[in-house]
Amino acid sequence: MEESLNIGIIGCGWLGFAAARKFKTITHQLSCLTSSIQKVDEFVINGIQPTVLDLNKNEDSDLFDWLEHKDIVLLAISPSKLNNYTEVISKIGKMLNGDQNMVFISSTSVYDATLTNADELSPLSPSARSGTVLIDTEKSLYKILQKRLTIIRMGGLVGKNRQPAKYLAGKKYVKGRKHPINFIHQEDAAYLIYHVIRYQIYGQIINGVSSIHPSKEVYYLRATQALELKSVHFDRADISQGKTVSNYKSLQLGMIYKYDNPLQFPELNTGR
């Protein structure tokens, strides 16, 4: 891939920033939008050209100017960050010309919770409002961009200071002890985005999740011990099975997971 590739990131946070650091091996034209002037210096130090722009305000001309010369736009911004998420993201899609591609980060939470197994063709019926917003946005973007869009549905994002065990530590009667977890480590999530862009894999929906799915009970026992947290106490009467999200398509497209088993995530093996 040519080094002249121009990549723009909207949502250069925990995941977007990790992906940006990998993009530096394939391009020197790397930029992002940020609403925080405090983060500008950090982006510049890391070779990312920031533009301060609040997407919750009507600054369409500035947004259009920023998008104009991008080859690829990575959208890695969560619904909680925008007042009218689907409307704003759709507007961005409409501003792209016929030569520009988009990678949109969605979530495996869009899949029907009653399923036992889910792949990219499975029915969509989320239990949370954020999942509904993501489905609406996926559909809108596909109508606009079609083969110029790839949607990556990430599993639960874990890595460094982002540890779900911290939020369940010490809790009692937690449901879903037998449910398989569908996690992906930050390094793998960032690499999957890089892989899609590096090899120009567009017009696809791809699940990003580790291949191995230990139960919630097994994972949280290991995680709370490794991170020296209070134990999670599960509801023993709950024998519901939950669902397993498949990453088979990502493997077929050449993705190699560094941490294919959540029990091998580095934070659980170093105590950090």
The stretch 68-80 carries a mean pLDDT of 96
Task: Give the pLDDT of residue 17.
Answer: 96
1 pLDDT higher than 80? no
Q: What is the mean pLDDT of residues 210-236?
A: 96
Q: Is 95 exposed, middle or buried (0-12, 13-18, 19+ CB in 10 A)?
A: middle
Determine what percent of the chain is predicted with pLDDT higher than 70. 98
Query: Residue 227 pLDDT > 80, yes or no?
Result: yes
pLDDT band at 113 (very low <50, low <70, confident <90, very high): confident
State the alpha helices, DSSP H only, in the chain: 14-23, 40-45, 60-67, 85-95, 129-145, 165-168, 186-198, 216-226, 248-252, 267-270
Q: CA angle at residue 160 from 156 to 161, to 5 degrees?
A: 85
Is it the case that residue 52 has pLDDT exceeding 60?
A: yes
Q: How many whole angstroms separate alpha carbon 170 and alpha carbon 113? A: 26
Average the pLDDT over 32-53 and give the result. Answer: 94
Closest CA to 34 of 46, 43, 23: 43
pLDDT above 90 for 130: no
User: What's the whole-number mean pLDDT along residues 97-107?
Assistant: 97
pLDDT score recorded for residue 208: 98
Planar angle of CA 145, 25, 72, nearest 5 degrees = 15
Question: Could you give the count of Cα atoms lying within 13 Å of 270 in the half-sphere of its Cβ?
Answer: 7
Residue 271 has pLDDT above 60, yes or no: no
47: three-class secondary structure by DSSP: coil
Over residues 125-135, the mean pLDDT reads 84
Q: Are the beta carbons of 103 and 75 closer than 8 angstroms?
A: yes
Q: For the full predicted model, state whether its pTM sits above 0.75.
A: yes
Q: How confident is the model at residue 124 (pLDDT cuts 50, 70, 90)?
A: very high
| 245, 155 contact by CB (below 8 A) | yes
| Beta carbons within 8 Å of 258's beta carbon, 6+ residues apart | 185, 187, 188, 191
Question: pLDDT band at residue 272, thresholds of 50, 70 and 90?
Answer: very low
Interval 239-249 mean pLDDT:
96
As given in the structure block, the two tokens for residue 261 are 């088993």
Mind listing the pLDDT tens digit for each residue in 147-167?
Answer: 999 999 999 999 999 999 999
**DSSP result, 176-225:** -TTPBP-EEEHHHHHHHHHHHHHTT--S-EEEE--S---BHHHHHHHHHH
Looking at residue 129, what is its pLDDT? 76
Q: Which distant-in-sequence residues (6+ apart) come within 8 Å of 25 by Cβ?
A: none
Which amino acid type is present at position 92? I
Express each pLDDT in 187-196 by its tens digit.
999 999 999 9
Span 77-94, pLDDT tens digits:
999 999 999 999 999 999
**pLDDT > 80? residue 270:** no
Mean pLDDT calculated for residue range 227-241: 95
- The predicted pLDDT at position 3 comes to 55
